[in-house]
């Protein structure tokens, strides 16, 4: 029996969900990521007291396939429905009152969720990819990895475009996609509202989420897109100082805020996307997935990986030629 080989670029939710599904069906799957570990925009920051997340704070499901995936993760003890209070400028309301159903938070490191998705696929970290060619992945160090039955690219459009010189059809479609940035910070402060989530009605800051480990008083604070566009090229210290002083003003805090970490997500959320779940160049056997194609959010990214895997499994006969 033919054992098909897939080479996947990007170990975020989309790449991992596709990789794991193909590997579970018996494919030989390599996943290459430039980072130290899997996760992408679900990656984790290790702290002395435990882990914290500067990346996506919530997972939410609007439709069934991802809902049942989340229910399965609840059973495994990997995610839990969000409970607690949200402070919304004037009042504190409960999560249910805010009508935010089907929102979950990881109870294990978010990057571990992505590892679970990867299943039996082989993950190659610290492996930045420079170019994609039919059946071949070229790493930045010049290594050529070839003979794949199918190549899948699962990175944000602006990072995918430089890889696609040999694939003009895909390049052209991806060129339409625009992303907006977010700065996120891990901050600690005294006082402030007794809540688990703070939703700012402000042009500088968007959201603050109390970190999971109890009693640490550590929060992840997310800027608005406008803030991140203003401080896109600013040094980390400047962006941190601006965000901390905005936060002090918004919450009326008497003492300075400690900023323990900061990260600029240059490609945080797609403003536009190609549409559909995946985009393929059938002749060259290369496909694109992820939120550049399917739209913003973990659910869409996960679904895009699943849908492409399903399509590939259905097309096995064609691939065998």
* Site residues, ligand FAD (CB under 6 A): 9-15, 32-35, 40-42, 55-58, 60, 128-129, 154-156, 159, 182, 184, 222, 265, 268-269, 290-291, 296-299, 301
Output 15 or 192, the one with its CB closest to ligand FAD.
15
User: How does DSSP assign 51-112, residue by residue?
Assistant: EE-SS---EE--SHHHHHHHHHHHHHTSEEE--SEEE-SS-EEETTTTT-TTEEEESS-HHH
**Per-residue 3-state assignment (H helix, E strand, C coil) for 222-243:** EECHHHHHHCCCCCHHHHHHHH
Closest by CA to 20, choosing from 125, 175, 152, is 152
Output 55 or 218, the one with its CB closest to ligand FAD.
55
Are 30 and 127 in contact by the 8 Å Cβ rule? The answer is no
CB of 105 to ligand FAD, least distance (A): 10
CB of 294 to ligand FAD, least distance (A): 8
Closest by CA to 100, choosing from 73, 60, 51, is 60
CB of 45 to ligand FAD, least distance (A): 12
Output 190 or 220, the one with its CB closest to ligand FAD.
220
Output 114 or 244, the one with its CB closest to ligand FAD.
114
Report the distance separating Cα 16 and Cα 305, nearest Å. Answer: 7
CB of 72 to ligand FAD, least distance (A): 17
Output 82 or 312, the one with its CB closest to ligand FAD.
82
Measure the CA dihedral 187/191/195/196, to 10°: 20
CB of 134 to ligand FAD, least distance (A): 18
């Amino acid at each position: 029996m033919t054992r098909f080989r897939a080479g996947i670029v990007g170990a975020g939710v989309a790449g991992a969900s596709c990789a794991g599904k193909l590997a579970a069906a018996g494919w030989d799957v390599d996943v290459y990521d430039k980072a130290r570990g899997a996760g992408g925009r679900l990656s984790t920051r290790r702290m002395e007291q435990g882990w914290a997340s500067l990346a996506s704070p919530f997972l939410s499901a609007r439709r069934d396939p991802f809902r049942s995936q989340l229910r399965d993760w609840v059973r495994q003890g990997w995610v839990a429905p969000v409970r607690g209070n949200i402070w919304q400028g004037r009042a504190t309301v409960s999560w249910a009152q805010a009508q935010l159903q089907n929102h979950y938070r990881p109870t294990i490191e978010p990057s571990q969720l992505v590892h679970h998705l990867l299943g039996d696929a082989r993950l190659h970290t610290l492996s930045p990819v420079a170019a994609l060619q039919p059946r071949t992945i070229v790493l930045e160090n010049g290594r050529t990895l070839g003979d794949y039955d199918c190549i899948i690219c699962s990175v944000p459009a602006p990072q995918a475009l430089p890889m696609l010189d040999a694939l003009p059809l895909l390049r052209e479609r991806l060129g339409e996609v625009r992303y907006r940035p977010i700065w996120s910070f891990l901050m600690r402060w005294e006082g402030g509202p007794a809540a688990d989530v703070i939703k700012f009605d402000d042009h500088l800051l968007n959201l603050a989420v109390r970190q999971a480990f109890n009693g640490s008083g550590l929060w992840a604070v997310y800027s608005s897109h406008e803030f991140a566009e203003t401080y896109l090229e600013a040094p980390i210290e400047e962006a941190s100082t601006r965000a901390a002083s905005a936060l002090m003003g918004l919450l009326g805090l008497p003492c300075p805020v400690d900023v323990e970490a900061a990260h600029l997500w240059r490609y945080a959320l797609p403003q536009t996307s190609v549409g559909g779940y995946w985009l393929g160049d059938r002749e060259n056997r290369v496909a694109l997935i992820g939120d550049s194609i399917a739209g913003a959010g973990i659910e869409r990214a996960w679904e895009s990986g699943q849908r492409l895997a399903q399509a590939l499994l259905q097309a096995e006969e064609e691939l065998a030629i």
